[in-house]
Amino acid sequence: MIRKNRIFMKFAKRWLASVMLVVAFTLTAAGPVGCASRLEPGGAYALEGQAPDKAFYAVEASFDLATSVVHTAFEFERSNRLMLWRISPDIKHGLDKLRPVAKQVVKEYGVAREAYLANPTPAGLSTMKTVLGRLQQTASAAQAVLPKE
Amino acid sequence: MPPIAILVLNGLTAALTAAPQITELVVKAKDFFASLAGNGLITAEQQDQVDARIDQIVEAAKQGRLPASWDVEPDPE
């Protein structure tokens, strides 16, 4: 059992290091997408006859990645629940605090997104960025709850 | 592709052995970094994929159909 735990923790540490890097990139990604890249015409964010909306795509791509980080943390804990519970009940309890927050944030993002699609204004995009920031904080918090040693 | 992006991708690939659950995350991260650091062109297909994934998750959240791992479940005995 001790050996199994050690092997598991080795894997978990590698996993965490990777997620940490993804989160760090997610936190800073909105800028580089907007500045360095261009959108191929015909895509969902560069519809024919309209100017490509790079800023919107940047927020969406960052949200997509942040959602994946949160989802992966939740799935990882759920799939390894008994093992992690034996290490510390605080891991599940910590993520349990974040689960309703993440759900709420995704719902709020949906509302903000719908509003932006109906009326694409800088203020609408700013609201989406604010919600994105909350999801990124949730992703960081989820990562902090998972074991490091 | 900048060295930091390669470093990140290597780390993600190594972590594949740790948890199969992260496969999807790795694929998305690779797409994401490719769009940042590739030839600078985000293809129509990549855009459509991001749009579809976000449509899917916001709709699931709206209808209370997010994956079970997002729910608070009872503690193990």
For the stretch A115-132, pLDDT in tens is 999 999 999 999 999 999
Cα(A61)–Cα(A81) distance, integer angstroms: 30
* Interface test with chain B among A15, A26, A116, by most B beta carbons within 10 Å: A15
The answer to whether A30 touches A63, Cβ cutoff 8 Å, is no
| Mean per-residue pLDDT, A76-96 | 95
Structure letter (DSSP) for residue A38:
E
**Which residue in B12, B36, B66 is closest to A18 by CB distance?**
B12
pLDDT in tens, B14-38: 444 345 555 566 666 666 666 666 5
The answer to whether A71 touches B54, Cβ cutoff 8 Å, is no
B positions 40-69 inside 8 Å of A (CB): 40-48, 50-54, 57-59, 61-62, 66-69
pTM: 0.76
Residue A37, sorted as left (phi over 0), alpha (psi -120 to 50) or beta, turns out to be beta
User: Residue A93 above 70 pLDDT?
Assistant: yes
Q: Which has more confidence, A68 or A37?
A: A68
At B41, is the secondary structure helix, strand, or coil?
strand
Q: Which of A91, A89, A78, A79 is nearest to A141 (CA)?
A: A91
User: Residue A46 above 50 pLDDT?
Assistant: yes
At B30, is the secondary structure helix, strand, or coil?
helix
ipTM for the predicted complex: 0.80
Closest alpha carbon within chain B to A15: B15
Q: Which of A25, A69, A76 is nearest to B9 (CA)?
A: A25
First to last CA, chain A: 17
**Which residue in B25, B71, B73 is closest to A69 by CB distance?**
B25
Burial grade of A20 (CB within 10 A; 0-12, 13-18, 19 or more):
middle
At A36, is the secondary structure helix, strand, or coil?
helix
A positions 60-119 inside 8 Å of B (CB): 60-61, 63-65, 67-69, 71-72, 74-82, 85, 89, 92-93, 96, 99-100, 102-103, 106-107, 109-110, 113
User: Residue A98 above 60 pLDDT?
Assistant: yes
